[in-house]
Structure 1
Amino acid sequence: MDDIDSAILEHLQRDARITNRDLARTLGIAPSTCLERVRALRNRGVLTGYHATVDLAALNRRVQALVFLQIRPLSREVIESIKSYVAGLPEVLSVYVVAGGDDLVAHVAVQDVEQLHSMLMDRFSPRREVVTFRSSIIFQHVSEPVVSPLDDV
């Protein structure tokens, strides 16, 4: 990763729809050079996809929450199974397997608090491997749209 690669990543994270020509012009490099560098970043697995950002409220998902789950028995098979189940739920935005007191954390977005309650009761309570769960409603969320490489220490 050099400065040009870092600049390419920054610009693509801010606007994935930027044309190769405009990106090259912004960076002061030839379009062919820019295209080759973007391809190299994809081939190395640095660029993994291009995404549209959506307004959850516009999709009638005004309430977001983190759901913390404790799973038993703890085994790779059980964790993989419940992770796949949770990730497949339409309310779930992302799932994290974590260390500490909880085993999984799910970020969910639903219409309202009643729908959150129904989801918890109908989708998590019946699962035998879910020993306990708790939820925390998200009041505000800030996300950094651009991720930069960290310097080696």
Structure 2
Amino acid sequence: MDELDSAILEHLQRDARTTNRELARKLGIAPSTCLERVRALRNRGVITGYHASVDLRALNRGVQALLSLTIRPLSREVIEGFKSYVAELPEVLSVFVIAGSDDFLVHVAVRDVDQLHAFLMDHLSQRREVVNFRSSVIYQHVNSPVVGPLTDQGQQG
């Protein structure tokens, strides 16, 4: 990953709809070079896809929460089964399998706190493997729109 690759990634993370010609112009390189670099980043798995950011409130999902869950027994089969189950629920945005006192962190977006409560009761408390869960309502969420490589010193470079 060199400086040109990093610059390409930065521009595409800010606006993935940028045309190859426009991206090449911004970077001061030939369009053919730009296209070759972007393809190489995709082929190496650095660029994993393109997406549209959406306003969750516009989708009637005004309340977000992080759910911390503990499951038992801890086995690969139980973890994989629960992960697959919860990832398919329409309220779920992200599922993290984590280390520590909790086993899962689940990010959900729902209409309101009543729907959050119903989700907890209908989808989590009914599961035998779930022995404990806590919910934390998200008041604000700040997302870093551009992620770059870290140097050995832990700083972007």
Q: What TM-score results when the alignment is normalised by the length of structure 2?
A: 0.96
Per-residue Cα deviation, 1:90-128 (whole angstroms, up to 9, x for no partner): 000000000011000100000000000000000011100
Structure 2: 5+ residue runs without aligned partners?
none
SS at match of 1:45: coil
Q: Distance in 2 between matches of 1:86 and 1:136?
A: 17
Q: Distance in 2 between matches of 1:9 and 1:77?
A: 37
Q: Distance in 1 between matches of 2:129 and 2:107?
A: 19
Aligned residue for 1:103? 103
Q: Tell me the CA shift for residue 132 of structure 1.
A: 0.9
Q: Distance in 1 between matches of 2:106 and 2:149?
A: 26
Per-residue Cα deviation, 1:5-39 (whole angstroms, up to 9, x for no partner): 00000000000000000000000000000000000
- Partner letter of residue 91 of structure 1? E
Q: Tell me the CA shift for residue 51 of structure 1.
A: 0.8
1:62-77 to structure 2, matched below 5 A, reads 62-77=62-77
Q: Tell me the CA shift for residue 152 of structure 1.
A: 2.4
Percent identical across equivalent pairs? Answer: 76
Aligned residue for 1:131? 131
Query: Matched residue pairs, number?
Result: 153
Q: Distance in 2 between matches of 1:152 and 1:24?
A: 29
Segments ≥4 residues shifted beyond 3 Å = none
Aligned residue for 2:117? 117
Structure 1: 5+ residue runs without aligned partners?
none
Structural RMSD (CA): 0.5
Aligned residue for 2:40? 40
Aligned residue for 2:12? 12
- Partner letter of residue 135 of structure 1? S
Q: Distance in 1 between matches of 2:147 and 2:76?
A: 30
